[in-house]
């Protein structure tokens, strides 16, 4: 992988630090970044937080406000740990469904089959830059009045029917970590068109403090109901400090200015590599329409362990950095933190996710990759068939 933070980004941080008595904690740059991100994405409200995991956590805490007694949240087994842990931490029951191999996101039919009267939300992960939405899923969730939460942490700029992912759900989450499409060192964003969700996101980001709300009406209401409290220190809910900083926002604003250009380069890279892979060995039938991949997906077609060993040996001998199992360590159902909640060998019920876990990899895809590098990468990977 490659660090996204450029010399240009760092110079802007240095300019900030050179100011007399600069504000470094959450301040005007954060608000500017939130406005710019909302405009780029196409939503009304965005809240900059300390990480993608923080955005997951706050989102489920907001869901808890509507469903204090819990319920079920449908979620994929191929996702990042914080998606699952945020569901568990807030007292919801995760209901896992298998993925579509073309998108690495949840199968629409499997999601709809898993819906029960206890379903409170569908928490979809747009994995590795692919679009996980279908018209059928959007239509059915709307008709059933079930909330859609989009995890877009790995898919900045990916689209469904030309509209950016993160604008379809009631809430969407983004991550700005390291080698993602753009980085703020650590960081995340919570996005919505719902003003109530926005106010909760602002308060929960900062200890649950009512003063963080942008609504004067809401602040006056809390102050009126709690005259015994200092209005600057009224806490609406038990929460944590998930604020980000002016430094992160400064880097984010700089990176956002070249995000579209970088995404175009990543897409060209990904398609060029896929088109050169040996289709007798590698699965290349991904849904490319609307995708915006920050990583090259490498999936062996055959369930042959000797091919995995050979491929790993080839990549290591050529100094190719890779991650096995695709997103977040592969099948989350195999992870120790989930074992106490699940039946024995539960992961076996999810064959597509299991195949990705055992026979899937990803390799960094960054804008500065040259055509020669991509062609050489394809040549090296195809050696596994020899």
pLDDT given at position 1: 64
- Asked whether residue 4 carries a pLDDT value surpassing 90, the answer given is no
- Asked whether residue 44 carries a pLDDT value surpassing 90, the answer given is yes
Answer whether 216's CB lies under 8 Å from 199's CB.
Answer: no
The helix (run of H) or strand (run of E) holding residue 72 is strand 71-75
Q: What is the mean pLDDT of residues 22-38?
A: 96
**What is the residue whose two structure tokens read 């991550």?**
175
- Asked whether residue 321 carries a pLDDT value surpassing 90, the answer given is yes
Angle at 104 between CA 100 and CA 107, to 5 degrees: 30
pLDDT given at position 328: 77
pLDDT given at position 178: 81
Name all domains of the chain by residue range, CATH numbers in brackets. 7-256 (3.40.640.10), 259-385 (3.90.1150.10)
**What is the residue whose two structure tokens read 């195809």?**
382
- Asked whether residue 279 carries a pLDDT value surpassing 90, the answer given is yes
3-state SS class at 164: strand
- Asked whether residue 369 carries a pLDDT value surpassing 70, the answer given is yes
Neighbouring residues of 376: CB distance < 8 A, sequence distance ≥ 6? none
- Asked whether residue 136 carries a pLDDT value surpassing 80, the answer given is yes
- Asked whether residue 2 carries a pLDDT value surpassing 80, the answer given is no
- Asked whether residue 237 carries a pLDDT value surpassing 80, the answer given is yes
The helix (run of H) or strand (run of E) holding residue 220 is helix 216-225
Q: Which of 157, 182, 187 is nearest to 255 (CA)?
A: 182
Which tokens in the block code for residue 267? 């897409």
The helix (run of H) or strand (run of E) holding residue 260 is helix 259-276
- Asked whether residue 386 carries a pLDDT value surpassing 90, the answer given is no
Q: Which of 101, 66, 43 is nearest to 355 (CA)?
A: 101
Which tokens in the block code for residue 97? 């469904």
Strand partners, 104: none
Strand partners, 360: 299
pLDDT one-digit tens code per residue, 142-193: 999 999 999 999 999 999 999 999 999 999 999 999 878 999 999 999 999 9
In whole numbers, what is the pLDDT of the chain averaged over residues? Answer: 96
> pTM of the predicted model, to two decimals?
0.96
């Amino acid at each position: 992988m490659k660090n996204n933070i450029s010399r240009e980004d760092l110079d802007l941080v240095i300019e900030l630090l050179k100011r007399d008595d600069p504000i470094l904690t959450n301040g005007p740059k954060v608000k500017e970044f939130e406005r710019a991100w909302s405009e780029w994405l196409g939503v009304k409200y965005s809240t900059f937080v300390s990480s993608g995991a923080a955005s997951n956590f706050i989102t489920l805490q907001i869901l808890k406000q509507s469903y204090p007694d819990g319920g079920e949240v449908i979620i994929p087994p191929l996702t990042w740990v914080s998606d699952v842990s945020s569901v568990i931490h807030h007292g919801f029951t995760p209901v896992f469904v298998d993925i579509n191999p073309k998108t690495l996101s949840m199968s629409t039919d499997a999601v709809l089959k898993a819906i029960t009267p206890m379903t409170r939300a569908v928490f979809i992960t747009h994995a590795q830059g692919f679009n996980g939405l279908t018209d059928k899923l959007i239509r059915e969730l709307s008709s059933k009045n079930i909330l859609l939460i989009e995890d877009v942490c790995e898919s900045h700029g990916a689209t469904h029917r030309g509209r950016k992912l993160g604008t379809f759900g009631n809430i969407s989450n983004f991550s700005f970590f390291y080698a993602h499409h753009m980085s703020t060192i650590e960081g995340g964003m919570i996005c919505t068109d719902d003003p109530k969700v926005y106010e909760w996101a602002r308060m929960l980001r900062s200890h649950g403090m009512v003063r963080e709300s942008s609504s004067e009406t809401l602040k006056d209401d809390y102050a009126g109901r709690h005259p015994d409290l200092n209005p600057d220190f009224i806490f609406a809910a038990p929460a944590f400090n998930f604020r980000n900083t002016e430094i992160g926002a400064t880097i984010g604003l700089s990176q956002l200015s070249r995000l579209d250009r970088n995404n175009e380069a990543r897409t060209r890279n990904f398609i060029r590599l896929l088109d050169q892979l040996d289709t007798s060995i590698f699965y290349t039938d991904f849904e490319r329409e609307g995708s915006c991949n920050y990583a090259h997906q490498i999936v062996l077609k055959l369930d042959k362990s000797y091919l995995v060993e050979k491929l790993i040996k080839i990549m290591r001998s050529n100094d190719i950095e890779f991650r096995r199992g695709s997103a977040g360590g592969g099948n989350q159902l195999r992870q120790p933190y989930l074992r106490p909640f699940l039946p024995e060998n539960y992961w076996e019920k999810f064959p597509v996710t299991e195949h990705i876990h055992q026979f899937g990899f990803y390799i960094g895809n960054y804008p500065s990759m040259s055509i020669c590098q991509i062609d050489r990468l394809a040549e090296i990977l195809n050696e596994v068939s020899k």
